Amino acid sequence: MDFIKLDKLKTKLKDLRPLNSAELKRLRDEFVIENTYNSNAIEGNSLTLRETALVLEGLTIGEKPLKDHLEAIGHRNAFSFIFELADKKAPLTESVIKQIHSVVLMNDRASAGVYRALPVRIAGAVHTPPEPVLVAEQMEQLMADYSTMLKQKHIIEAVAEFHLRFEGIHPFIDGNGRTGRLIINLELIKAGLLPVNIKYADRIKYYECFDTYYGKPKTADALTKLILDYQIDELERYISMFK
CA atoms within 13 A on the CB side of 122: 22
Q: With bands split at pLDDT 50, 70 and 90, how would you rate the model's confidence at 243?
A: low
Residue 2: per-residue pLDDT: 77
Any idea what the Cα angle at residue 124 is, between residues 122 and 130, rounded to 5°? 30
Catalytic residue among 69, 101, 163, 170: 170
The verdict on whether 170 is a catalytic residue reads yes
**Ordered structural domains, the chain, with CATH:** 3-242 (1.10.3290.10)
**Percent of the chain whose predicted confidence (pLDDT) is above 90:** 83
pTM of structure: 0.95
What whole-number distance in Å separates Cα of residue 162 and Cα of residue 149? 9
Residue 126: per-residue pLDDT: 76
Amino acid identity, position 111: S
Kindly tell me if the per-residue pLDDT of 139 is higher than 70.
yes
Residue 126: count other Cβ atoms within 10 Å of its Cβ.
12
Q: With bands split at pLDDT 50, 70 and 90, how would you rate the model's confidence at 147?
A: very high
